[in-house]
Amino acid sequence: MSEPMRTRRPRLSRRIALKAVLFGLLVAALVVPVAGYSGQSTAAQSGELEVFSWWTGGGEAAGLTKVIGIWKKENPSIKFVNAAVAGGAGTNAKAVLAQRLSANDPPDSFQGHAGAELQDYIKAGDLESIDSLYKSAGFGKFFPKSLVSQIRYRGKLYSVPVNIHRANVLWYNPKVLKDAGINKGQLKTWPQFVAALQKAKDAGVIPLAVAEQWTNKHLFETVLLATLGPAKYAALWKGTGSWTSAGVKTAVSRYQQLLTFTNSDAASLTWQDASKLVVDGKAAFNIMGDWANGYFTELKQKPNVGYGWAPVPGTAGVYQWLSDSFTLPKGAPNRAASIKWLTLLGSKRAQDAFNPVKGSIPARQDANPKLYNAYLKSALRDWKTNKLAGSLTHGVVASNAWNTAIDTALGQFLQSKNPTRFQSGLAAAAKKYR
């Protein structure tokens, strides 16, 4: 990792490699004003570190501030330039990043979801492998082997995961369940879950709260995992499983069944709106990632009182994960500082400072559990013992292009409710992008 910074040459292949994925983002960047972007990096001199992310508010910004504090204390001579871009849950940031990479003007490090989401950048030649950093920093001793294996691309590592979120969480309102006669201990199998949804419906509350389309994709991926199990689920993304199989057909059927128990105004709601329906007592259940726990905390809700949680029925013993991570771009103006930054992000001190505030758990397995709330303590325990399965919606198992094709198939299904066409669309997307 000690080679000198290289002068970057324009690569026409970048536009070809990223065209399908980034076209919409580039259009968005033209119509959405983004403060602070002038077309050139603000960290174009040595003695600085420019870090690019979409962490501009809430727990994520507070967590980043914690890590920046450590950085400034340990590296007082290297100015930290926070190049975070707000808006669109990362969409605006990715659009600006696309512009900068196309102009050969990378930041020193940028945020991305660990896993297949980074493949477009890797294939375009935007990222350096950081295998030697993993070795020198000893990350392999503390990150789960199954995690490291899932974020490799063609045998190499390109990012440092700073946190872990869980996707397959069933959130519920304990009082609503009690009033509806639902036994929270009987939410382990698919028939039990459907029976509970029916009881909630009979009690006059929304059985399962959902929101805009990406939350529906999140819901579908958990049903797919619950139906197939982690091994067959993983096979779909590796190309050894069949999207035309009976198992996928069953998952699509189950997902369609779930939609009959959801709120009719889903398309107009955010994920926060859907989660709030649960703690407000208007809905019994919501399937959402564990950032919902952070949101419930903001709403002053107490764990096991205002809300409860369980694995999505059928996924007990499986941790469907996603991770925010940071990279080493090729041509980073301050490459040595970027390596220091990535080393810090993978450390215990940084991960234990960032995650309790962010509302996630560390990727490392040696966290101090005393720093985390009741839900996060349970997540820490499960992270050490559960089988791991990557998230589709949040960038682990499929490239951006593949994800976009699945979005198209899902959007058509939500309109047509045609399961056969949906499964065919999923199979076609896999054939094209796997």
Predicted confidence at residue 31, as pLDDT, reads 39
Under the banding of pLDDT at 50, 70 and 90, the label for residue 18 is very low
Same domain? For 131 and 19 the reply is: yes
How far apart CA 383 and CA 165 sit, in angstroms, is 10
CB burial of residue 75 (10 Å; 0-12, 13-18, 19+): middle
How far apart CA 222 and CA 392 sit, in angstroms, is 9
Under the banding of pLDDT at 50, 70 and 90, the label for residue 90 is confident
Under the banding of pLDDT at 50, 70 and 90, the label for residue 29 is very low
Under the banding of pLDDT at 50, 70 and 90, the label for residue 89 is low
How far apart CA 241 and CA 414 sit, in angstroms, is 25
User: Which residue range(s) make up the domain with 97?
Assistant: 13-162+325-369
Which amino acid is present at 306? G
Same domain? For 303 and 229 the reply is: yes
Residues 241-252: pLDDT tens digits? 999 999 999 999
Question: What separation in angstroms does the CA of 47 have from each of 82, 101, 211, 220, 344?
Answer: 14, 22, 45, 47, 17
Of 15-24, 398-407, 416-425, which range is least confident?
Answer: 15-24
Give mean pLDDT, residues 371-392: 94
Same domain? For 262 and 411 the reply is: yes
Under the banding of pLDDT at 50, 70 and 90, the label for residue 55 is very high
**Percent above pLDDT 70 for the chain:** 89
Predicted confidence at residue 294, as pLDDT, reads 86
Same domain? For 157 and 172 the reply is: no
Mapped onto helix, strand or coil, the DSSP state of residue 40 is coil
CATH of the domain at 36: 3.40.190.10
Q: Indicate whether 383 belongs to any domain.
A: no
How far apart CA 55 and CA 40 sit, in angstroms, is 20
pLDDT at 144 over 70: yes
Predicted confidence at residue 104, as pLDDT, reads 96
Predicted confidence at residue 271, as pLDDT, reads 92
pLDDT at 235 over 90: yes
The rounded Cα 226 to chain-centroid distance in angstroms is 19
Under the banding of pLDDT at 50, 70 and 90, the label for residue 388 is very high
The phi, psi pair for 189, rounded to 5°, reads -110, 165
Q: Are strands 109-113 and 324-327 parallel, antiparallel or unpaired?
A: antiparallel
Q: Indicate whether 232 belongs to any domain.
A: yes
Same domain? For 416 and 296 the reply is: yes
Same domain? For 226 and 246 the reply is: yes
pLDDT at 231 over 80: yes
Q: Indicate whether 227 belongs to any domain.
A: yes
Total domains, the chain: 2
Same domain? For 252 and 227 the reply is: yes
Predicted confidence at residue 297, as pLDDT, reads 87
Residues 305-360: pLDDT tens digits? 999 999 999 999 999 999 999 999 999 999 999 999 999 999 999 999 999 989 89
Mapped onto helix, strand or coil, the DSSP state of residue 154 is coil
Name the DSSP letter for residue 36: T
Same domain? For 67 and 83 the reply is: yes
Predicted confidence at residue 98, as pLDDT, reads 93
CB burial of residue 32 (10 Å; 0-12, 13-18, 19+): middle
pLDDT at 35 over 80: no
Mapped onto helix, strand or coil, the DSSP state of residue 378 is helix
Residue in the structure block whose two tokens are 């420019």: 50
pLDDT at 204 over 70: yes
Spell out the alpha helix ranges (H) of 90-245.
Answer: 91-102, 119-123, 131-137, 145-151, 174-179, 190-202, 213-238
Q: Indicate whether 390 belongs to any domain.
A: no
CB burial of residue 385 (10 Å; 0-12, 13-18, 19+): exposed
Higher-confidence position of 235 and 88: 235
Same domain? For 424 and 312 the reply is: yes
Contact 303, 374 (CB under 8 A): yes
Same domain? For 265 and 413 the reply is: yes
Quote the mean pLDDT of the chain: 89
Q: Indicate whether 132 belongs to any domain.
A: yes
Q: Indicate whether 256 belongs to any domain.
A: yes
pLDDT at 9 over 70: no
Q: Indicate whether 1 belongs to any domain.
A: no
**HEC string of 268-314?**
HCCHHHHHHHHHCCCEEEEECCCHHHHHHHHCCCCECCCEEEEECCC
Which amino acid is present at 409? A
Same domain? For 145 and 217 the reply is: no
Q: Indicate whether 386 belongs to any domain.
A: no
- What DSSP element (H or E) covers 169? strand 169-172
Predicted confidence at residue 46, as pLDDT, reads 54
Predicted confidence at residue 92, as pLDDT, reads 87
Predicted confidence at residue 88, as pLDDT, reads 60
pLDDT at 30 over 90: no
Decide: pTM greater than 0.75: yes
Same domain? For 148 and 216 the reply is: no
Predicted confidence at residue 213, as pLDDT, reads 92
Predicted confidence at residue 400, as pLDDT, reads 86
Higher-confidence position of 145 and 26: 145
